[in-house]
Amino acid sequence: MGHVWNGVVVRRRMAIGATTAALLAVSACGGDSTQSGDDDQVTLRFSWWGNDDRARITEQAIDAFEAEHPNITVEGEPLDFEGYFDRLATSVAARDAPDVITLGGAYPREYGDRGALLDLSTVAEQLPTDGIDPAALSNGFFSDVQYSIPTGVNTYCVVLNPEVFEAAGVPLPDDTTWTWDDFVDIAQQISDNSPEGTFGAADPTSADTLDLYARQQTDSGLYTEDGGVALEPATAEAWWAMTTAMSASGATPPATITAELGGQPSPEQTLMGRGLAGMQFDWSNQLTALRTASGAPLELMRAPGESSGVAPGMWLQASQSYGIYSGSEHPEEAAMLIDFLVNSEEAASFILADRGLPANAEVLEAITPQLDEHTTAQAEFIAEIAGDVNPDLIIGPTGSTETRSIVMRLNDEVLFDRMPVEQAATSLVDQIEAAIG
């Protein structure tokens, strides 16, 4: 069925609405890739989410791939993010999934655990991964199987406003050596020497900072390899003891402001985007939007505690990832398409950083001259820290997507002094266990 997407004809198949529960019906058999009358001709289906611009540049990369492989036709299946995973759940349950599937977050593990994704070691000849950063590859590796390949990467780090530091007379930290005590002290100095309403740091609590902090303290993040909870109540208790003290002293905002900013505010709504914070934890790929919103020359820095903990806490996060449907009739050709998308400088010349900065160092170096100054700053930061991040990322199991909201609810409880930090820490672990159970 033809579909026009921003002037590009995109071939798509229609699917009926779905629920996540439909995943339970997954079977590895079947698959609905089409093949022409000529046995040498192969048609692949490739699904992704995104806007018109993403569809346009993806189609350009597909055209380049088809030019190299005249016997392969790729049918693109783009969809808005809101409906993408419902559509995918339906197609997987109906054994009609695309050959190449774009995934994100915990979905590689969720679909891999249910048998919907191909073990990529079976197509290693067509999809070499030696050029991709091992820390980035770990995003799609679990149960001793590589189920997905990162489209690109970013990292969770500290965004810093040097203008706020300068106005407060506070020197910038050395992010190769600073500790959490340094972070607290610097935030306090900035707040003490800034106009009312400007803070040393936005409240740092999130599922991502807890994951990072836990790895530094115990060499384990939130989850275990077998899908359990690794976070210890004592670690969460120490974290909240630090952050509640910062809020009480004014180093970070009062509970009312933090609660108003709960969830995932747009960059222009954050304290950093409004020029009202010296430091804020965020994803490196938010730098462009935060710089634009604030009008300030914001910088990226390593998280505190990276050099003083038992292990690094930072990691390279797959912005998205590509997997192959286990029921695909053409797994080798699907692997060739993914190889082209992630390891080819030609494909990257169209896609650039739209799906994250390339995890292949040679590809990243090749496209860096084409990037704008903000994305170049992100690329330089990723290149700087790549050798120092923790390679042992464990993707959360099914149900772990609830962790983010659990953390935010309990954070409100402790900041508003409605729950002792000890009780909140125990409750956090209990609630995460219930969510993934």
Span 136-170, pLDDT tens digits = 898 899 888 999 999 999 999 999 999 999 999 99
Q: Is the pLDDT of residue 296 over 80?
A: yes
pTM: 0.81
pLDDT one-digit tens code per residue, 393-426: 888 888 888 999 999 999 999 999 999 999 999 9
In 3D space, the residue among 68, 67, 90 whose CA is nearest the CA of residue 17 turns out to be 90
User: Which homologous superfamily is 2-151+320-380 in?
Assistant: Periplasmic binding protein-like II (3.40.190.10)
Average pLDDT over residues 274-279: 98
In the chain, ranges of CATH 3.40.190.10 domains:
2-151+320-380, 155-315+393-436
Confidence check: pLDDT of 11 > 60: no
Statement: residue 21 has pLDDT above 60: no
Q: What's the average model confidence in pLDDT over 162-188?
A: 98
pLDDT tens per residue across span 197-246: 999 999 999 999 999 999 999 999 999 988 899 999 999 999 999 999 99
Q: Domain 155-315+393-436 - what CATH class?
A: alpha beta
Mean pLDDT of 321-331: 98
pLDDT at 64: 98
Higher pLDDT, 73 or 285: 73
264 — pLDDT class (breaks 50, 70, 90): low
- pLDDT tens profile 91-135: 999 999 999 999 988 889 889 988 999 999 999 999 999 999 888
